[in-house]
Structure 1
């Protein structure tokens, strides 16, 4: 069998690998397995933290690393090894923590731990701040509550509050640190509050994929990347074959080399069977 043209398949998780109900269709699972058997190595990409991303890799049943925490870390789910992590340098991390305190925000700092251990740290709970306490309270079984903020490394930190507060805090972070960090203000329907996330400036799904590709000896032009949201655009543009799901936002569709059916109609399987194999 000749080597496939694309040797790596970077798959966004929510809205691409999973359908709108968060399900992995049997046909999608089987198609990814066929690609892997043909020599195309899958890698999963998600904004989820590792603990919440790990079950998706388990459902897939393949040796598929996970780019998680908004692209700031890559984990190997078979043994919880860290393949790459975008640590904030100690000086920047300390200055960030000072800025959180200055503006009255408690810090959620995500940990690099095995999938079944506490995956974030806070200094206190309850704090008296409703949105923050709601987030920590819903995740209390895997929270570490400790006042020792000298422990690191720091690669993904966030504040939780009202949307207006988080937009204002994002402005403070960017004013203070400029192009040294990347920020996201986003809200999950699971929680009462909005989160302002901060990671290293060079951390993204695509940069994390490239670090793993280098370890595997795969060139960017040998990567097929698939996604549906604006945070997938850099990897869609950078990959040898950039693919958008049919339900993707207009800017994602415009960036893609190829558009496949949406996530409810198994666009991933259509890509694998129609183009990759």
Structure 2
């Protein structure tokens, strides 16, 4: 059986182009695509300058993120916090520089701390999964840890999100051991990080065209497919109205929900790379000793 997880333009969330390449998809949510990855800005400029940055892009993204933030929130503004979905190079590349520039705390799941405090590198990428140039190039991607020092703080054990009232964080591991997604029940908005993505991420063509499709996490950097499957099932059970992911455009509505449920129901056949090292022998990074997060 072939499972089609395609979406079309009618399934894209409406966006308004703002300054510095920022796309607004809700009064208090905007994103900027930085080459292969999205960073997200939470905060409504009409209600004041308080805002939060979600993820920190590539190592070359610092100036682009600062420019977009100043365009949206004002030149004198700075975030109250940086929230990290996980610490891969395309999400944390400019984290050290931005945290120092703004002198703000960085929040992450404790299990992700070794990759954000200089202690551990991620497992090596698997270039033979999924096909395409992005996968083949993946061994060249940086995997060394970042180190934000004493600015790194644990997300609250009650699942609240600092600086984002009404939101909760969800532990969605698999793509990374401390990966999180962010969920707002009031309007059913999901910030999924890389637990799912809404465009193919294994080929350069798909990265460039951003064709809307429902995908599992990028294959070449996903070490634990059992955890990834459980995380997708959790996200599908939420039945979100709007989803933005680390790669791809924001999507919405009934068809999106149906595709997400189909991804969950058929995860082994459509998301997991058959016969590859990561699929049959997942890397198991160290577990946190903090039972409050279990």
After TM superposition, is the score higher than 0.5?
A: no
| Bigger relative CO (Cα 8 Å, ≥ 6 apart) | 1
Relative to total residues, which structure has the larger strand share, 1 or 2?
1
Q: TM-score, normalised by structure 2?
A: 0.29
Task: Compute the TM-score of the two structures, normalised by the length of structure 1.
Answer: 0.30
